[in-house]
Amino acid sequence: MPQLTVVDHPLAGHLLASLRDRTTEPERFRVLARNLATVLVLEATRDLATRGSRVATPLSDTDVRVLDGDVVAVPILRAGLGLLDPVTELFPNVRIGYAGLERDEATLRPTSYYLKVPELAGRVVLVLDPMLATGGSASFACSLLKERGATQVRLVCVVAAPEGVERLHADHPDVQVVTAALDDGLNDVGYIVPGLGDFGDRLFGTL
């Protein structure tokens, strides 16, 4: 999988169009985010390892392929929660961790106020962060997870800015990014343009 994958699927574009629309209400926004996350997660996991197995159908035995390995999902609070449900539905045995990050107002750097993760070594780790803007928080989250043993990290986001992609790949060239769109860039206050506004506020109706 390339280090940056912009999902080229008609449904992804269609769902993203409604997410961008400023008139989309929170209830509808949550449904759209959930559906788009399903498309993104399928792309992010298309190369998961499999192994051969054998099952009995109602008619005969047959050879099949099953997943060989565990997946860990780590949403970055709070907006990343909007992408979590599709992961748990697609991968019922998924392990889930949580990363709470905030910006230190003195240094303007991200800090961690909460981190709870399962064993990460040898597992594919999906970091769920809807907006890859400056890349500071995503890079910091990847560093925290690597310190705890993660070696296969993939970032799933709805929209990415070139600045964020460049920052993440400079800090973590091994981390793969899967997104629905690579937007134009950041404005003077760090919002992605054209973007879709504050994902967390729109998801939870805290506008």
Query: 27-85, pLDDT tens digit by residue?
Result: 999 999 999 999 999 999 999 999 999 999 999 999 999 999 899 999 999 899 999 99
Which position among 23, 54, 63, 107 bears the catalytic label?
A: 107
Least confident of 101-105, 106-110, 152-156: 106-110
Which position among 47, 103, 111, 174 bears the catalytic label?
A: 103
Could you confirm whether 8 is annotated as catalytic?
no
- Kindly write down the DSSP assignment for every residue of 90-129, as one continuous string: H-TT-EE-EEEEEE-TTT--EEEEEEE----TTSEEEEE-
| Maximum separation of any 2 CA atoms in the chain, in Å | 67
Closest CA to 54 of 46, 41, 43, 65: 65
Closest CA to 16 of 165, 2, 161, 24: 24
Query: 82-99, pLDDT tens digit by residue?
Result: 999 999 999 989 999 999
User: Global pTM?
Assistant: 0.92
Distance of CA 203 to the CA centre of its chain: 15
Residue 157 near residue 129, CB atoms below 8 Å: yes
Could you confirm whether 62 is annotated as catalytic?
no
What are the chain's domains? Answer: 4-47+70-204 (3.40.50.2020)
Could you confirm whether 201 is annotated as catalytic?
yes
Query: 112-131, pLDDT tens digit by residue?
Result: 999 999 999 999 999 999 99
Could you confirm whether 107 is annotated as catalytic?
yes
